[in-house]
Chain A
Amino acid sequence: MALDDTKKVKDFKVVGTRPNRPDGIDKVTGRARFGADMVAPGMLTGRILRSPHAHARILRIDTSKAEALPGVKAVVTRADFGDVPDHVADVIDNCMAGDKALYDGHAVAAIAATSAAVARKALKLIEVEYEVLPHVTDVDAAMRPGAPVLHEGAQQETVPEGYSGNVISRVEFGHGDIEAGLAKADRVVERTYRTGATHQGYIEPHACLATMSADGQGDLWVCTQGHYMVRNVCAAILGLEQGQLRVTASEIGGGFGGKTVVFLEPVALMLAKKSGRPVKMVMSRSEVLRATGPTASTSIDVRIGMKKDGRITAAFAELRYQGGAYPGSPVDMGSMSAFAPYDLENVKTVGWDVVTNRPKAAAYRAPGAPMAAFAVESAIDELAKGFGLDPLAVRLMNGAKEGTRASYGPTYPAIGLMATLEAAHTHPHWTAPLGENQGRGVACGFWFNFGGDTCVSLNVTPDGTVTVSEGNPDIGGSRASMTMMAAEELGIPYDQVRTIIADTGSLGQNEVTDGSRVTFAVGLATIEAARAAKREMCRRAAMIWGIDEEAVEWEDGAARPAGPNAGKFPPMTIKEIAAVASNTGGPIAGHHEVTAEGAGVSFGTHMVDVEVDPDTGATKILRYTVFQDAGRAVHPAYVEGQFQGGAVQGIGWALNEEYIYGEDGILQNAGFLDYRIPVASDLPMIDTVILEIPNPGHPYGVRGVGETPIVPPLAAVANAVSAAAGVRMTQLPMSPPRVLAAIQAAKG
């Protein structure tokens, strides 16, 4: 659906304002019901037994002693699931190990018992005989010939002969002639960058409550980013018909991509099926870190050539991402996005997807892009500063714009990168003075955004208020945004609309809440559903007035006669039309079902000041400003929150967060005491500048904003720390010991 040219910015009455959040009171008073808050009569407690080994063949599992324990109502192993369709084979293997345990924390059995104490005791009674195998957790080590191989025969045809079986696929993008371009450069930077694996760090652990009745009907209450995905995947694994499994999404305490897959849900349903009782499962924080889906750790080689005036002549990156124990690291996205902010004549990326003995990577906000941006933006910063050039001016010189052929192939339509760079260049932050041991960094970032299957139902109640039902969990303010777009379109106040998240039995298929898609795609469907309801209300008014429905228009929440021959009737408000709906044809509703396409790509530029303690290597964030194109900011406070949240997660990734594995392949820091995410006292206020370059693919011009903000901060912080410390940092996290070692090494 194209941008509605009749809806100019000045016409918006609700969109662009900052009303109270519809979920605010419930969340601050503790009334909101999250995944662990649901209970059911006769409910059992489910617990998982997890592998203590990084890589081991499972020779035997004996559950007889556990099953004999009073209070144990069901025990599940992989054998209970039997054969499953190919498209969910890796999914169930990750939820419950088959022949091999592939990482520390991999589930091998599950218990449902009458209490948590009984369940814990029962877990200890399960006997598992392992044959411990050699393991590998580092991406470069896993690629070497002779490395322990996780899966025989999983390698795609895209991998040349001679590579380790852990190398699953190879991909290449770009155009031009890299060597010819580098030959024209006055200087070439060639470096290897590394990033640690990080977790999304959502505060709410995974949780669900499952029931399965004897007639094959199931219900699942679950914390997820996509309850339709949960339904479809679980139905495939358990051999159910999708229509027989109803899934309801709870409130969600963060996801950031990590809740776009299942971990507990098929197991809970199987326990419920075997026990005949409701089963509730809640992960501990340790389980979340050991056995859900962090992002990939990476090793990236970059070569970039630049002329003295700042013009980039060629850019190359080879990206190696380990995605844990199963194929599917986000290296494809990293390879496509690495140079997306630039207009380059010669550009090439090569990506390698590698498996290791770690938990399978899940999506994490713009999956794959932040690591690639860290490497590329660091090299560009080093080149610019090496020539004594303004790093923002270099980006303005080389930045992508409308008509640029993107590094991943397409030609860009109208995009907002240059607007973010220009806003950054003229912002007071850019010229603010810095003190001793302080440095400033900038970086750009890109994300694709997309749409997908979307279904919205809008109902006009008998009193003329409106309910909107959508099928995506509200992870970033979608109830507020949908309410605002419905109110805008209907011409009624915000408080006359309420949006709910419907269960899977109430709406058609909805894609997972990912790809920054919801405000774009569900918003588009909400607007169309409202327009359908308006058409129906105009038709009802026409019936009452006895005129043609074409002679009725909708304006400011009321049907009005329009045109010279329509007659003079007083407007009928939505409340007046709704009050007589039973007399004019029945309830009034609007629906829209669509596979939304046309999500506009997104760009951002980040600027950060840091201070590095030369004696300890500790970094303090002093000031941070985010510049990003939002297309149209429906609820600017939520947009600012997305910008701020992405920056903060990126700061954690840059400075502290890292999965640390011992020589034994066991995760050493499976808790928030040792896995250090930023807290409020670590941070200054994150300033934001919202640019609005309307997306031509949405009636109000909306672009997704949720993922791009995490792309630039790794590089922006690295560039700032490098400036402050006087040494180029090429490995994340830039923890105090690592920075201190770099400073001392530079001093010789």
Chain B
Amino acid sequence: MVKVVLWGSLAESADGQREVAVEAATLRELLDGLGETFPGLRAELERGVSVSIDGRVYNDNWFTPIQPDSEVVLLKRLKGG
């Protein structure tokens, strides 16, 4: 199981939990697992998110590996100029 830290207001869509656990070995499995386990998160996931894995930010690479002890933090989708 991978522990995932949610941002403050997103926790309200995950039964109030700031940290949730899902079975995932890749970024795709992580995002799919979050949506299945916490349907309240789907709207935000569909709008797009970024994910910090051990301090590095990922957007789209489905098959980015995630270790069970990785620090995983969900972020609002990064936008730049």
Contacts and interface: CB of A to CB of B under 8 A. Distances in A.
A256 B81 CA distance: 6
Given A171-B76, A408-B75, A409-B52, A597 B81 contact: no
Tell which of B52, B58, B76 has the most Cβ of chain A within 10 Å.
Answer: B76
Interface in A593-635: 595, 597-599
B7 A171 contact: yes
A172 B76 CA distance: 10
Interface residues of B, number: 28
Given A409-B52, A452-B59, A597-B57, A515 B7 contact: no
A363 B80 contact: yes
Contacts of A697: 56
A194 interface: no
Given A256-B81, A450-B78, A410 B71 contact: yes
A332 interface: yes
Interface stretch (A32-40, A212-220, A240-248, A364-372): A364-372
A157 B10 CA distance: 11
Contacts of B9: 158, 170-172, 350
A597 B56 contact: yes
Given A172-B8, A450-B59, A597-B58, A410 B73 contact: yes
Interface string A340-383: 00000000101000000000001111110000000000000000
Given A366-B81, A367-B81, A597 B8 contact: no
Interface in A447-462: 447-453
Contacts of A332: 76-77, 79
A595 B60 contact: yes
Given A157-B43, A514-B81, A599 B8 contact: no
B64 interface: yes
Interface string A503-540: 00000000000111100000000000000000000000
Nearest to A452: B59
Contact of A595 (B7, B61, B74, B79): B61
Nearest to A171: B9
Given A336-B76, A409-B52, A599 B81 contact: no
Interface in A224-258: 256-258
A330 interface: yes
A412 interface: yes
B64 A514 contact: no
B5 interface: yes
B52 A260 contact: no
Interface in B28-51: 43-44, 50
Nearest to B80: A515
B5 A409 contact: yes
B81 A257 contact: yes
A174 interface: yes
Contacts of A200: 81
A336 B7 CA distance: 10
A173 B7 contact: yes
B55 to A, nearest CB: 4
Contacts of B57: 410, 448, 450, 597, 599
Nearest to B74: A409
Nearest to A600: B56
B8 A707 contact: no
B8 to A, nearest CB: 3
Contact of B81 (A156, A365, A411): A365
Contact of A707 (B58, B76, B80): B80
Contacts of B13: 157
A691 interface: no
Interface of A: 156-158, 170-174, 200, 256-258, 260, 330, 332-333, 335-336, 348, 350, 362-367, 408-413, 447-453, 514-517, 595, 597-599, 697, 707
The 8 closest A-B pairs by CB, nearest first: A257-B81, A515-B80, A363-B81, A172-B8, A409-B73, A410-B52, A172-B9, A332-B76
Given A157-B43, A333-B78, A514-B80, 17 more contacts: A158-B44, A171-B8, A333-B76, A336-B75, A365-B81, A367-B81, A408-B75, A450-B80, A514-B79, A515-B78, A515-B80, A517-B80, A595-B60, A597-B56, A597-B57, A597-B59, A707-B81
11 contacts: A332-B79, A333-B78, A336-B75, A363-B80, A410-B52, A411-B71, A413-B54, A413-B55, A448-B78, A517-B80, A597-B56
